[in-house]
A = this chain, B = another copy of it.
Amino acid sequence: MATVESISASIAALNESIETTNGGLDVFYLLFAGAMVFFMQAGFAMLCAGSIRAKNVKNIMLKNILDACGGAVGFWTIGYAFAYGGADSSKITFIGNSDFVLANIHDGASLIGWFFQFAFAATAATIVAGTVAERCKFEAYIAYSLMLTGFVYPVVVHSIWSSSGFLSAFTDDANKFLGSGMIDFAGSGVVHMTGGVTALIAAKILGPRIGRFYDADGNELAEPVSFPPHSVALQVLGTFILWVGWYGFNPGSTLGISPAGYADVAALCAVTTTLAAAAGSVSAMFTDMVMTRKATGETMYDITMCMNGALSGLVGITAGCSVCEPWAALVIGIVAGWVYIFWSNLLVKLKIDDAVDAIPVHFGNGMWGCIATGLFASPGLVDNAYGTPNYGWFYNWGMGNGTGKLLAVEIIGVLFIIGWVGLIMIPYFMLLNAMGLFRVDALEEEVGLDISHHKGAAYDLSGPSEDVKEKYEI
């Protein structure tokens, strides 16, 4: 008898050992994924800086750094509490209401969860920096950044990702919108659209840079003028860093790797993420090449298309990376390239000036990602990753029933994000603008923000002075 008892104790101890191991493994997984997502801040900084003119490089990079810093403080004080605090899957709430400043939280799983979620919040915020570059006041940007990470973004997260959100796939079955809730696995909508809508609103209210669509006196130009990126090398570096970071962003969104089935989901995410990025890049570049050739007769391969196409594919697959087959990821990526080109041209037609084309990438393809999930989510994979009964419209169509419940939820999610962000951000930016706090004055814009506000130019590539060269006959 003693033997049986001791065996039971041994088995209990073993179970505990495995649980400890799993706990360690999952914390490590989110540490890795969170660090990768945080690294994307460097990617955004390099991409944005590279895309604009040399005279505003310090300004944009300062904004990128402060997005990370403000995001940390904002998300620690209130953002995380609003997003996830006090969630209870048996009831729907608008906003969370506990765990401010991580009070009383000491377990590793929650702490590393905060770290991972903070990195996402900082990403959402920093999407806007590029769009409004070269003309947005520094103080206005800081105010916006705190507003987004502290309040606007957390409400979106709460609604779609917490277990009390009205669109969440993680509530009790009775509370699931249209029986499933929204599938936005890593945040095409939650992160990229939230940033992208804000960017669109900001760009519209802020107005274009002088000389882009209108001259300094406000006269319309015959043709829009593109300002060439000051460093393609920085852009490429930024793009690659973002792509690499996405391997934390998408697979990491399982939020753990030890539970049964999670590893299958995470591995699938790595594959679909890769294929969508590749397809988006190739699609955007070759489509642009063909269009340019038709228009001008010249064959030009545009590296900007290639980079923004890859990022478009990445944003496009983010919602559905865990529920789409690899071939579907490829299709989503190809379409993402077209969505990018469409939105990029549309903005020019609407005379909305996006200094780094973040709106086409994050807003245009954030929407596409959510909708694509409603089209391509495969029954088996939805079951694996979510255990919910609704899947992509193409599969329903193929089976002859034509039910579009998931597609409907995805579209409602898209509209909710646009509506909610617009509700807060339109009046907010209009107010800033009316008070003269939003846009730098024309002089500062022409001179460049680095000299005006940041103690001098970002580069000094001069070698030894002429004096020295003469003196030593170099």
Q: Could you list which residues of chain A lie within 8 angstroms of chain B, going by C-beta atoms? A: 3-4, 7-8, 10-11, 14-15, 17-18, 20-29, 31-32, 34-36, 38-39, 41-42, 45-46, 49-50, 53-55, 57-58, 61-62, 64-66, 68-73, 76, 101-102, 106-112, 114-115, 118, 138, 228-234, 236-237, 239-241, 243-244, 247-248, 251, 257-260, 262-268, 270-271, 274-275, 277-279, 281-282, 285, 299-303, 306-307, 310, 326-327, 330, 380, 443, 446-448, 451, 453-464, 468, 471-472, 474
Contact = CB atoms under 8 A, between A and B. Distances in A.
B281 A54 contact: no
Given A28-B29, A233-B61, A474-B451, A53 B460 contact: yes
Contacts of A258: 20-21, 24-25
A307 to B, nearest CB: 7
A271 B27 contact: no
B300 A453 contact: yes
B65 A310 contact: yes
Contacts of A36: 35
Given A301-B453, A468-B447, A257 B35 contact: no
A62 B460 contact: no
A231 B459 contact: yes
Contacts of A300: 453-455
Given A24-B263, A303-B454, A230 B270 contact: no
B11 A45 contact: no
A278 B73 CA distance: 7
Contacts of A228: 456-457, 460
Contacts of A108: 263-268
A416 to B, nearest CB: 30
A263 B464 contact: no
Given A27-B267, A28-B257, 8 more contacts: A25-B257, A55-B463, A55-B464, A61-B233, A65-B236, A232-B459, A451-B463, A451-B474
